[in-house]
Amino acid sequence: MIREFDVIVVGGGHAGIEAACSAANMGCSVGLITMDKFAIGRMSCNPAIGGTAKGHLVREIDALGGMMGKIADRTGIQFRMLNKSKGPAVWSPRCQSDRKLYSEEAHRVVSNTNGLEIIEASVVNILAEGKKVKGVITANGEEIKCSALILSSGTFLNGLMHTGLKSVQGGRYGEEPAIGITQSLINLGFEAGRLKTGTPPRLNKNTINWSILEEQPGDENPQPFSHDTEINEFPYLPQMSCYITYTDENVHKVLEKGFDESPLFTGRIKGVGPRYCPSIEDKIVRFADKNKHQLFLEPEGLDSDQIYLNGFSTSLSAEIQIEALHKIRGLEEVEMVRPGYAVEYDYFPPSQVDLTLETKLIEGLYFAGQINGTSGYEEAAAQGIVAGINAALKVQGKPEFVLKRSEAYIGVLIDDLVTKSTYEPYRMFTSRAEHRLLLRQDNADRRLMKYGHKFGLISDQLFSEVIEREELIYKSVDLFNEIKLHARIVNPFLESKGSSGIDSAETISKLCKRSELSLKEIIGLNGTEQNQIVNKLKLDEKALEQVEVELKYEGYIKRQFEMVDRLERYEDAKIPLTLNYLSLKALSAEGREKLNKIKPRSIGQASRISGVTPSDIAILLVYLKN
């Protein structure tokens, strides 16, 4: 008897978890196929979630009804808000996770999701009939049918691990690669490529001289990722510190001795590595003018003796690695539990998928995660939830779901992948978002929870809380543009803050724009405490923070909204997906080729394609108008 599901998800990593859970929670029958059910959510590299821009993605995933933020909150052992010394657009939550507990919690979440079955198997073939997906065949010969298929295979497609001159097949330490899927997709007409990523050595914490290292504790009042997490119970686990040390020229000299056996420099690694997270040997070559590089010693768990040496990713020989480690301050006698290694794997350039993450060649087939050329748990999970939602909508015959660049970092991520494609591992940065002051981590719920609620992934209660907070924010902003505080009340306070006094009454809104003043302090002054809205705001820390941002950056926010409005007309100018660009001879040759390959949905998307000129856009506008 052939098993059949509405949706099959291949791969139990961070993309697979979000894809499978979202589709199942939307009412589909889902089969999650993974080679090891106890490896679900396993953190292959750094045991951490979030960080610069990545934390924004986690908040957005959570607002859509995803799992990553909830799992991170349950298993985090250090929480920090990064970039607090800068503007709110780049504030980014990050947590150090307990590696073992994260995977266990991920397995528990997936196992307890109704309509979701975990299948331990390895997929070797993708089945399609005509141009529509039909299912998969596993290594043991079983055929499993589906209406939609999501591939989220991580670094396992023909995975090959390198340490010095030694190479071993595998997608992750101690785990077999996935063989067969790449060739199956090539046979269907897809173009494949090769990428590379790496991981640093793991160290024995009991052999490190912690007393001479710089401690990096977590935040005193940590903030959770998930809007569902009860702040009064958070954090759930004891909190730990990370530590900082540095390489120096002596360390670099030792590493350079191993370059003649480096798989990166000898050409044995064919895949392109991540530009923004290079290996330590790559850093030494590319940044030859720097005599030191910062390293972070990060605990892998409450009960683990292993330390992750962030910043020391390498594929040099184990002998060179340990010799170099012993030259680093605090690691003079360290024991290396496991050497670092690089892993090469297959991916499929993402110009082959649409903004829904459905492939353009095969209907019902979706790619999510590193198969699309991204790096990082958060980027993978963001794609996973979008693919899962769209697969469920397709099965149910409902309209598709696409996020705009002006709505979410997830929209920026997917638009970048589809429109620009990538030939190196793609990583999310705040600088990639042109509207980043609107896409802050603190307002992800206000931006995206309406979609999560619409798809049945966000509860009525949680959504109603967001609606109430939204109303409170609007009312507060309006109120503070009206309420004026007299000089006799305000000036003693301003003097205490080293701020210049005022001659007459001034609105709270204008006072709040002073960088040295906080809204919380201003509304604590005489003259506001009797207002009902102010009292409500004092009780809602989330709303208070967002009102302050709205007031302090009012002019910038207004200009960004105006920019969105100007660009929106190009995003609303839809292009039929069936348009034959090759027949439009007025377009430039490169423009025809690129447009035909990407098949943009709108003039806005077309304008972001490299090689498409303003003249090409003008010709398209005239053609569409006629």
Fold of 573-625: DNA polymerase; domain 1 (1.10.150)
- pLDDT at position 415 is 95
Q: What is the mean pLDDT of residues 220-225?
A: 95
Distance, first Cα to last Cα, the chain: 55
- Per-residue pLDDT band for 282 (boundaries 50, 70, 90) equals confident
Position with higher pLDDT, 264 vs 52: 52
- pLDDT at position 276 is 66
Instruction: Tell whether domain 3-154+180-197+345-454 is in CATH 3.40.50.1820.
Output: no
Residue 580 sits at φ, ψ, to 5 deg, of -90, 95
- Write the CA distances from 201 to 169, 313, 363, 484, integer angstroms: 19, 7, 42, 59
- pLDDT at position 540 is 86
Q: What is the mean pLDDT of residues 274-291?
A: 84
pTM of the model: 0.94
Classify domain 202-342 by CATH number: 2.40.30.260
d(CA 615, CA 596): 16
CATH 1.10.10.1800 domain position(s) in the chain: 460-556
CATH 3.50.50.60 domain position(s) in the chain: 3-154+180-197+345-454
- Per-residue pLDDT band for 265 (boundaries 50, 70, 90) equals low
CATH 2.40.30.260 domain position(s) in the chain: 202-342
Instruction: Evaluate if residue 611 carries a pLDDT over 90.
Output: no
Coil/strand/helix, residue 158 = coil
d(CA 554, CA 507): 14
- Write the CA distances from 222 to 82, 101, 366, 403, integer angstroms: 11, 19, 36, 29
Coil/strand/helix, residue 80 = strand
Instruction: Evaluate if residue 361 carries a pLDDT over 80.
Output: yes
d(CA 481, CA 551): 9
Q: What is the mean pLDDT of residues 501-530?
A: 86
Helix, strand, coil in percent for the chain, rounding step 5: 40, 20, 40
Q: Residue 512, Cα to own-chain centre: how many angstroms?
A: 32
Instruction: Evaluate if residue 72 carries a pLDDT over 90.
Output: yes
Q: What is the mean pLDDT of residues 182-190?
A: 96
Q: Where are the beta strands (DSSP E) in 143-284?
A: 143-151, 160-163, 166-169, 193-199, 202-204, 214-216, 242-246
Helix (H) or strand (E) holding 344: strand 341-347
Classify domain 460-556 by CATH number: 1.10.10.1800
